[in-house]
Structure 1
Amino acid sequence: MRVVHRASPWRSLLNADGTLDTSALTAPLVHLFNYISSPQTSLVDAYAWQLSLVESLVHYDLPAWRISQIISDHNAMLYRQAIELSLDEMRAQSWGEPPVDYCVLLLGSAARYESLLGPDQDNAMIIDDYPDHRHVEIDGYFQALGERFTARLDEAGIPLCRGHVMARWPMWRKRLSEWCAQLAIWSADRQVKRVQQTNILLDFSPVAGNPALAERLGENIAATLPKAPLFMHEMAALLDELPVALDRFGRIASRPGLAAPHDQAINLKHQGLMPLVSAVRLLCVRHQRHEIATRERLIALNHESRALTSMQSDMLLAAFERLQQCLLDQQRVNKAHGHAADGWVDLRHLREDQRLLLKFDLQQIKAFVKQVRNA
């Protein structure tokens, strides 16, 4: 189904006499921001507002990669509000102020500022070092904080992570020295589970608390992982677990066993975006780059590290942007019909030229992943 596109507000920017009509440009967003900025707006309402924001941004002809950054900014704002509300509640219940510095981290696509519609929670917490004899007192405080803010986000519509990657669990809530020790353990050999856990942690961004703790963790990661050859070899081998949505003849095809909703569906998140994101992440670890967002990583790998040629960087950036656009378009269709905003794309919704371009992009991603895997 093709939705009739409304006239872009950019066409109303100039009045007939040549003067600027900024109200015409801002009108699509003003009513939304007036609503969301109200102190009476709950987290539930603020998150529900997000789809209207996305539709307004589409009206501005923004590409999906820009919209995903704004969605991520909005989700980060919801995180900060949930954390502050939880802290206020704890103060009212005589928990007092946080006993030491801490930093809540966004993980995954939220950390890369690449969120689309329908994210779940992926987060962690760094706690500043404290004496062991205060562990029950201090960790108990931050456990309560983690449980409260993740519960608030769940109630708002950002569901709890089914893999338990959240600050409410000890695995993802540690002192800074414990995180550094954990990385040393994870990278000491080539156990698959440890590499997978490290991959989750590698995409992080501070959202609340003291960001200096996140900077120190990043420095430790950059100093530790490239010196662990067995770990790095397994990290490369795990790229085989993320095959691109192409068959052996180079045609678009869903991976068997992924429980596709029908035979014309591919999981573009798991079979397109994630192979690219994972290969780019690995290449950045090899070259000790600190960038987190995939776009920034691709640019840095060309301009700063020379790990990619300008042509490779540009081609992969274009592929990344087109895959995000394809996925966001499908998610908007799903939402309009009351369905889940997931990673599946219906190939029947694509024009022939779009299918050809998608096949080309997936072929470039497959070649890039192979290059990184075998380097």
Structure 2
Amino acid sequence: MRVVYQASPWRSLIDKDGQLNRSAITAPLDDIFSRLFAPHLTLADSHACQLPLVEALVRYDIPAWRISQIIGDHNAWLYRQAIALSLNEMHAQGWGEPPVDYCVVMLGSAARYESLLSPDQDNALIIDDYPDARHVEIDGYFQALGERFTQRLDEAGIPLCRGHIMARWPMWRKRISEWRLQLEIWSADRRVKRVQQTNILLDFTPVAGNSALAEQLAESVAKTLPQASLFMDEMSVLLDELPVALDRFGRVAASPSSEAPHRHAINLKRQGLLPLISAVRLLSVRHRRQEIGTRERLVALSHATDTLSLEQSDLLIAAFERFQQCLLDQQRYDISRGQAADGWVDLRRLREDEKLLLKFDLQQVKRLVALAKNTSFS
């Protein structure tokens, strides 16, 4: 069973008299806009509009990868609102203005503007350097800010990260010099945990504060990591922890029954999307690229380096877009049935042509992973 199809408003663009029917085009979004921009709207109310917004955008035949960017734009706005409200509250309570410059960055899919429905929080704080003697005072201020804005986002509908990857925790709240030192420590050898933590940090984008601090951190990443050959080798080895959903005969394979909700389920996020994203990230870091989005990285790898041909890049971008579409369709279907939106896809809901394309796309990802693993980092 699929989500019921609704006719595209584009078919009403020209009426029977050959006139431009503007109201027919704007109608699906009018109600959403009135709700999104209603006075005294709470963050929770605004976040609750995302699903109706997605349904309206689907009616415009907008592809999932574009919809994910729009969701990302809205989530970034929710971040800025939560941070502004928290700063205003702290000022009213006598905390004063931020004692030094800072930058809140989103991490992971939010930073890549690739989130679909129901993402949790991943964020960090970059703080401008200050004397050690003022650490208790200044870090205390930003700890309070981190706790407040992440709590506001949680209450709005973007849950706290279960892995504690948030600015409220010292691990993800540091001075810019401490972030540089952290990168040097994490990349000094090939310890798995350190590589995993660095992987989390590699996808970041500024959302509030002084973005120059994020630019400085990006420059440090480009300078430090490509020279750390042991670290880069371990980053390559870690791709094995994200096996592509193909069996040894190259056929689409359902996920292990111990993990899957049923025997026809495939975790397309973990066994398709994440191997693609991770391999592209690895190659981008190797070539000192500072693009964050997966599509942008693929374009850069084919135009600014000799890593991928234009054909390979195009095939992988198409695979990425189809993965996003498949996941969004499944998430909308699950939500319509009162279930949680996650990374699982029911293979029974795919047509035969969709299954063939899925197999083809997964094969392209598997080749990319092999390419990334075989790239020399010495």
Return the TM-score normalized by structure 1: 0.98
After superposition, what is the alpha-carbon deviation per residue over 1:185-223, rounded to whole angstroms, capped at 9, x for unaligned? 001110000000000000000011111100010001000
3-state SS of 2:206 partner: strand
* 8 Å Cα contact 2:126-2:174 kept in structure 1: yes
Aligned to 2:247: 247
Aligned to 1:201: 201
- Give the deviation of 1:258 after TM superposition: 5.8
The aligned runs of 1:291-306 (5 Å cut-off) are: 291-306=291-306
- Give the deviation of 1:14 after TM superposition: 2.0
Q: Distance in 2 between matches of 1:254 and 1:245?
A: 7
Q: Distance in 2 between matches of 1:15 and 1:252?
A: 46
- Give the deviation of 1:22 after TM superposition: 2.2
Q: Which amino acid aligns with 1:328?
A: L
Aligned to 1:174: 174
Aligned to 1:26: 26
Q: Distance in 1 between matches of 2:17 and 2:87?
A: 54
- Give the deviation of 1:41 after TM superposition: 1.0
- Greater CA deviation, 24-33 or 195-204? 24-33
Aligned to 2:312: 312
Aligned to 2:97: 97
Aligned to 1:132: 132
Q: Distance in 2 between matches of 1:60 and 1:356?
A: 26
Unaligned runs of 5+ in 2: none
Q: Distance in 2 between matches of 1:129 and 1:177?
A: 7
C-alpha spacing 1:185/1:257, structure 2 compared with 1 (3 Å): farther
Q: Which amino acid aligns with 1:153?
A: L
Q: Distance in 2 between matches of 1:59 and 1:100?
A: 46
The percentage of aligned residue pairs carrying the same residue is 73
Q: Distance in 1 between matches of 2:301 and 2:194?
A: 26
Q: Which amino acid aligns with 2:278?
A: S
C-alpha spacing 1:17/1:82, structure 2 compared with 1 (3 Å): same
Aligned to 1:190: 190
3-state SS of 2:371 partner: helix
3-state SS of 2:137 partner: helix
Q: Distance in 1 between matches of 2:61 and 2:338?
A: 24
**1:358 and 2:351 equivalent?**
no
- Give the deviation of 1:257 after TM superposition: 6.8
Aligned to 1:153: 153
Q: Which amino acid aligns with 2:160?
A: L
Q: Distance in 1 between matches of 2:108 and 2:2?
A: 32
- Give the deviation of 1:73 after TM superposition: 0.7
Q: Distance in 2 between matches of 1:212 and 1:366?
A: 37
**1:368 and 2:335 equivalent?**
no
- Give the deviation of 1:76 after TM superposition: 0.7
- Give the deviation of 1:246 after TM superposition: 1.0
3-state SS of 2:80 partner: helix
3-state SS of 2:112 partner: coil
Q: Which amino acid aligns with 1:62?
A: I
Q: Which amino acid aligns with 2:239?
A: L
* 8 Å Cα contact 2:2-2:333 kept in structure 1: no
- Give the deviation of 1:253 after TM superposition: 1.4
3-state SS of 2:15 partner: coil
Aligned to 2:340: 340
**1:262 and 2:262 equivalent?**
yes
Aligned to 1:79: 79
Q: Distance in 2 between matches of 1:54 and 1:79?
A: 19
After superposition, what is the alpha-carbon deviation per residue over 1:316-338, rounded to whole angstroms, capped at 9, x for unaligned? 00000001100000000011011
* 8 Å Cα contact 2:237-2:373 kept in structure 1: yes
Q: Which portions of structure 1, spanning 4 or more consecutive aligned residues, are displaced by more than 4 angstroms? A: none
3-state SS of 2:106 partner: strand
3-state SS of 2:327 partner: helix
Q: Which amino acid aligns with 1:6?
A: Q
After superposition, what is the alpha-carbon deviation per residue over 1:88-114, rounded to whole angstroms, capped at 9, x for unaligned? 111111111111110000000000000
- Give the deviation of 1:42 after TM superposition: 0.7
Q: Which amino acid aligns with 2:262?
A: H
- Give the deviation of 1:18 after TM superposition: 3.5
Q: Distance in 2 between matches of 1:174 and 1:3?
A: 45
Q: Distance in 2 between matches of 1:22 and 1:205?
A: 37
3-state SS of 2:19 partner: coil
After superposition, what is the alpha-carbon deviation per residue over 1:289-344, rounded to whole angstroms, capped at 9, x for unaligned? 00000000000111111311011000000000001100000000011011010000
Aligned to 1:118: 118
Q: Distance in 2 between matches of 1:2 and 1:68?
A: 20
- Give the deviation of 1:19 after TM superposition: 3.5
Q: Distance in 1 between matches of 2:257 and 2:174?
A: 36
Aligned to 1:106: 106
Q: Distance in 2 between matches of 1:151 and 1:343?
A: 25
Q: Which amino acid aligns with 2:342?
A: D
- Give the deviation of 1:238 after TM superposition: 0.5
- Greater CA deviation, 2-11 or 215-224? 2-11
Aligned to 1:221: 221
Q: Which amino acid aligns with 1:200?
A: I
Q: Which amino acid aligns with 1:259?
A: E
Q: Distance in 2 between matches of 1:30 and 1:221?
A: 44
3-state SS of 2:266 partner: strand
